[in-house]
Chains A and B, each alone.
Chain A
Amino acid sequence: MRKLLLTVLAASTCLAAPVLADDDKIVVGFATAETGFMQAYDKPAQDAAMIRIKEINDAGGLLGKQIEVVNADTKTDRAEGAKAGLSVIDEGADLVVVSCDYDFGSPAALAAESSGLVSFFLCAESIKAGIQGVGPHSFSASVLAAVQGATMAEWAYNKKNARTFYRLLDTWTEYNKGICDGFDWMLPQLADAKLVGEDTFLNEDASIAAQITRIKSLPQEPDAIMLCTMMPGAVSAIKQIRAAGINSMILNGSGVDGSYWLSAVPDLSNFYVPVQGSIYGDDPNPDVTAFNAKYKEATGGDPSTQYVYPGYVMIDVWAKAVERAGTTDADAVVAELEKMKDEPTLFGPRTFTSELHHQNQARYLIVETNAGKPAVVDQWTISKPIPVADLMK
């Protein structure tokens, strides 16, 4: 027992002295997953954030100070997430960056909020990742899932003349429901667009034969199927739809971006995904392609999905707000962020308001997969932002 106490005492003294906030540097704390399944989502976005931090430091820093980075591993665990948040706060973080997903990022974000610090979710797409679920100092760097559904509906209606829609929802996650919520909000606003049927399934379902039978038994094949799902179940669902001979266009959220899974559905065509930036080297903005090269140089691989980009946007908008506020003080930075209206970034304009620290309208590139080859074919911004009241349902 004595030995145990000694160990604890010895161990705790190693950790005892917290690093105090220094005046000649600015600290960004990453309370993100370095191990566990969330690592696959957090790491790429964090790498992108590091690229932006390096750019800023190379250009002389922020407010004349260098940005320093501290890390703590959440281990893809909520209780560990709270500790990781507190840990980077103790190390003097001025900005606390938390895990991609709302469920796993919120404990650390709540810790930052109660210390009065600005927190940013790396790529959460739920409205709760922000004021509504954490507090007035919390933001998300990505775009709401609902915007993706709304974008695809409006774009397909206007550019592809889609009039009959079928809605197929995988009820596994909030993200999936978010896409379909956006679709549901947009559809009644499109004159003579009709929902000819809807169905649900679960990501882990091995077979969606029953759902497919119902689509097949419609008098006419729908123009478009709004598929609200994500990996890994998405691949199997898409494969089954096409194998059944349904050739309607399939609309999706950004969660199925990437070419890594396309070999599982050979020669997939008529398949559309909204993305914030293109990983395929054909982004209309040459700076995005330049960023992709930088990313490859830093990490040794191309970005695998568009979820790399929000990390870059996050540091970009935060640094601008700090520059304008002239301080890293949380309230001043939040005030500057909330003044941003259509602030240009590499991946489209960004807006924050005192009501919403998230994007309820955003420019999306539309990627079409044709004969197994994805490429950017268009871009689209929904005609009006989705009202916060509709997002809170």
Chain B
Amino acid sequence: MARSVIRRSIATPVLLSLLLVAFALVAWAAGSKPFNQTIIDIFLKVIFVVGLWVFIGNSGVISFGHTAFACLGGYVAAWTTIKPMLKATSMPGLPDWLMQTEIPYWAAAAVGAGWAALWALIFGAVLMRLSGIAASIATFAMLAMVNSIYSNWESVTAATSSVVGIPIVRSVWPYLIAAILAVVIAWAYGISRYGLALRAARDEPTAAAASGVDIPRMRLIAFVVSGAIMGMGGALYANSIGIVTPDTFYLGLTFITLSMLVVGGMGSLSGAVLGVLILSTLIQVLRWLEAGVKIGTSTFALPGGVQEIALGAVMILILMFRPAGIMGNRELTLPRAGSDKPGRAGPNT
């Protein structure tokens, strides 16, 4: 049975990974530094949104707080990858053993994931007992709390000042691998019995509970897995630009990732990934138009700031015509990927 589930759904992560590889190849072929950075940015968003999906998509509870886990991960990268000498001046309050630690960025991403998962477990143990809007508001409070602590704990996080000295990784491949890893983890979680039980609880809480599903526990598992993915993304984000500040991981990032998820389709992993790819591509095209495009001899350019407005308009249009997002509840699959359902894509649940 388990094998057949894997066989039936393996096409989704494979296709999504191939799509991500295609983006990476385009960046590699273009050979332009800013474009490369744009693709890195897109991969980071893929990680964040997939992380969000693991919880929101499967539990149906909208979380406004996941950016907090990215913040936790980002500061782990700062604590563990900056040279000890630099750390001593910017964050003198770190414990001695941490002050002397200097590990490579990929290890920092793993530690960041673990640190975020630990806090997801602690917060989640309390928050996951709530349901619906109360849980959403509580996650938001968690974000505000983490942000407040990181903005004020001067000796450990340098408060609101930028923490610099994080080694910058400008190659696109590590981010590609991390994004694919996130997709695979999310897929594996989605087809696991925990994922299935949580989706059952999302759609029919009473029936699920009657069938022996421990809803808070199932939610907690999803919360921890998604927290870990967000933590990994946060650490890599720090490595992509070389600085972290608490306000990087606050409302701006929360809302852009949530809207990417909503536009793509909250109910499907493909929606999460495609939402990022489509909106990011759109943002990029609008940026180029803002910067000016040469048509013949004259340059055509949109006035600055149009990008944000156009993005908002497009998102409204998508949600008007596809209220469940671009993908709705469907996943990308091959036409005949051993599915017993007809058509290109079968319902997820």
The CA-CA distance from A4 to B276 in the complex, in Å, is 12
Q: How many residues of A contact B (CB 8 A)?
A: 40
A83 in complex: contacting residue of B38, B162, B237, CB < 8 Å: B38
Do A79 and B281 form a contact, CB below 8 Å, given A16-B32, A35-B304, A86-B33?
no
The CA-CA distance from A107 to B41 in the complex, in Å, is 14
The CA-CA distance from A9 to B25 in the complex, in Å, is 10
User: Is there a chain A Cβ closer than 8 Å to B254's Cβ?
Assistant: no
Q: Which residue on chain B has the smallest CB distance to residue A172?
A: B160
Q: List, in ascending order, chain A residues with CB within 8 A of B30's CB.
A: 12-13, 15-16
User: Is there a chain A Cβ closer than 8 Å to B82's Cβ?
Assistant: no
Contact assessment for A16 and B162 in the assembled complex, using a CB-CB cutoff below 8 Å? no
Contact assessment for A16 and B31 in the assembled complex, using a CB-CB cutoff below 8 Å? yes
The CA-CA distance from A81 to B41 in the complex, in Å, is 12
A-B contact count (CB 8 A): 109
User: Which residues of A (166-188) have their CB < 8 Å from a CB of B?
Assistant: 174
| A387 shortest CB reach to chain B, Å | 15
In the complex, per-residue mask of A68-92: 1 if CB is within 8 Å of any chain B CB, else 0: 0000110001110111101101100
User: Is there a chain B Cβ closer than 8 Å to A5's Cβ?
Assistant: yes
Q: Which residue on chain B has the smallest CB distance to residue A14?
A: B288
Q: Which residue on chain B has the smallest CB distance to residue A89?
A: B33
Contact assessment for B240 and A82 in the assembled complex, using a CB-CB cutoff below 8 Å? yes
Size range of the chain B interface in the assembly: 35 or more
User: Is there a chain A Cβ closer than 8 Å to B337's Cβ?
Assistant: no
Contact assessment for A18 and B38 in the assembled complex, using a CB-CB cutoff below 8 Å? no
User: Which residues of B (59-107) have their CB < 8 Å from a CB of A?
Assistant: 89
Contact assessment for A73 and B241 in the assembled complex, using a CB-CB cutoff below 8 Å? no
Interface of A is mostly: helix
The CA-CA distance from A177 to B38 in the complex, in Å, is 35
User: Which residues of B (1-60) have their CB < 8 Å from a CB of A?
Assistant: 19, 22-23, 26-27, 29-38, 41
User: Is there a chain B Cβ closer than 8 Å to A96's Cβ?
Assistant: no
Do A107 and B243 form a contact, CB below 8 Å, given A4-B278, A35-B305, A79-B41?
yes
User: Is there a chain A Cβ closer than 8 Å to B293's Cβ?
Assistant: yes
The CA-CA distance from A210 to B266 in the complex, in Å, is 49
The CA-CA distance from A110 to B35 in the complex, in Å, is 17
| A69 shortest CB reach to chain B, Å | 14
Q: List, in ascending order, chain A residues with CB within 8 A of B304's CB.
A: 34-35, 73
Contact assessment for A87 and B33 in the assembled complex, using a CB-CB cutoff below 8 Å? yes
User: Which residues of A (350-380) have their CB < 8 Å from a CB of B?
Assistant: none
Do A11 and B34 form a contact, CB below 8 Å, given A1-B19, A174-B161, A392-B89?
no
| A113 shortest CB reach to chain B, Å | 9
Contact assessment for B32 and A8 in the assembled complex, using a CB-CB cutoff below 8 Å? no
15 A–B contacts from the bound complex (CB under 8 Å): A8-B26, A11-B284, A12-B27, A18-B31, A18-B32, A73-B290, A77-B252, A78-B248, A79-B41, A79-B240, A81-B241, A84-B34, A86-B34, A90-B33, A128-B161
Residues of B within 8 A of A (CB): 19, 22-23, 26-27, 29-38, 41, 89, 160-162, 164, 168, 170, 237, 240-243, 245, 248, 252, 277-278, 281, 284-285, 287-288, 290-291, 293, 304-305, 332
Known: A12-B35, A15-B35, A133-B162. 6 other contacts (CB 8 A): A4-B278, A15-B34, A18-B31, A106-B164, A106-B243, A107-B241
Which are the 8 A-B pairs with shortest beta-carbon distances?
A87-B34, A86-B33, A35-B304, A86-B34, A82-B241, A83-B37, A16-B30, A110-B242
